[in-house]
Structure 1
Amino acid sequence: MDNFDNDDEEDFGFNEEDFNSEESRREFQRENERVDNLPIMKKAREIFDIVDSLVELIDDDDAFIAHYRSMLFEDASIICAKIAGAEGGDLYSLRMENAVLIKIHARNLLAQTSGLKMLGFKDVRYLQVLRDAIEEFRLLFLAWVEGFDKTNDMSDNWGNLFR
């Protein structure tokens, strides 16, 4: 197996003379702002903030209920990350893969609110706040996915799962 050689003549189509780092930085910043200002991303961040507040109310005395902290944080974090991934990927199949994961993690959050209630979590009104935010998110999600461009795709040799 050949070792990677930094002195290799092949540049993979990258020409340093054509690269403007300041322009690239501005473009990167504009794209980050665009994604941050999407209604679905704003709602996802709101859900994360609700989860952040909710886990502060979880009592450490009950180890089983305390385990919900990490699950709630994980699901809320992944939703935000997958929205950014879907927006950055642009190809229909990549966007749909991220959308499926977003749906799974949002539904996990709903299931965890039911689990916490069943286990006797005292501040159930906060669970309803999270459930309401997830319902608002669901409606934004439906509109967001509807806007994906099905014609902007290419085969990845895994089949056409989303056609």
Structure 2
Amino acid sequence: MWDDFDDEDPDFDEEGSFDYHKDQERVYKHPLMKKARDIVGLTKALVGSLDEARRELYGTLMLEDSLSLTAKFSAAENSSDYVIKMEKAMLIKIHAKSLFSITYQLALEETHAEEHLQLLREAIEEYRKLFLDWIKEFDSKDRTDDGWGIFTG
């Protein structure tokens, strides 16, 4: 039963206890997480400079989209299951594309200098490239059927 337990797992200390801080550090040092945190910072700056009406209209969605990049990545990284990783990856894609789209709506409404919006777009594009490398690491053999039939076939 325990034959597949890896004593060399980097998340376990010498006594065989799970090292939460080491695992958390691994997640926070990942290039995708670093870029996601950059996106959160840029988004907060943009939302903070919106007028009250636009902040109410777009701000919450923009912040939710940007913060979801970090939350969903963390959830995916803390699972070995392919189906869970793919579900989180799909949600990351949706939130990133939503945030990207809002930058064009803000440009149409001329709320910001184009250079400020372009900074966020470029950060999202860099994130997308890192994302593509990240999902290549997923092991499709390590999956469980969650009963919904997505990513299981």
* TM-score range normalised by the length of the shorter chain: 0.7 to 0.9
Give TM-score scaled by structure 2 length. 0.84
Q: Deviations over 1:21-78 (max 9, x none)?
A: x974x70000000000111000000100111111121122xx1464211111000011
Identity %: 39
Map 1:146-157 → 2, pairs under 5 A: 146-157=136-147
Please say if 1:57 is aligned against 2:12.
Answer: no
Please say if 1:102 is aligned against 2:97.
Answer: no
CA distance 1:72–1:66, change in 2 (3 Å): same
Listed as ranges, the gaps of 5+ residues in structure 2 are: 1-12
Larger Rg: 1
Listed as ranges, the gaps of 5+ residues in structure 1 are: 1-19
CA distance 1:27–1:127, change in 2 (3 Å): same
Equivalent position of 1:80 in the other structure: 70
SS in structure 2 of the partner of residue 120 of structure 1: coil
Counterpart of 1:90, as a letter, is: S
Equivalent position of 1:29 in the other structure: 21
The answer (yes or no) to whether the contact 2:86–2:151 under 8 Å persists in 1 is no
Distance in 2 separating the partners of 1:59 and 1:97: 35
SS in structure 2 of the partner of residue 89 of structure 1: coil
- Note the aligned Cα RMSD (angstroms): 1.9
Equivalent position of 2:5 in the other structure: none
Equivalent position of 2:35 in the other structure: 43
The answer (yes or no) to whether the contact 1:39–1:140 under 8 Å persists in 2 is yes
* Corresponding pairs, count: 140
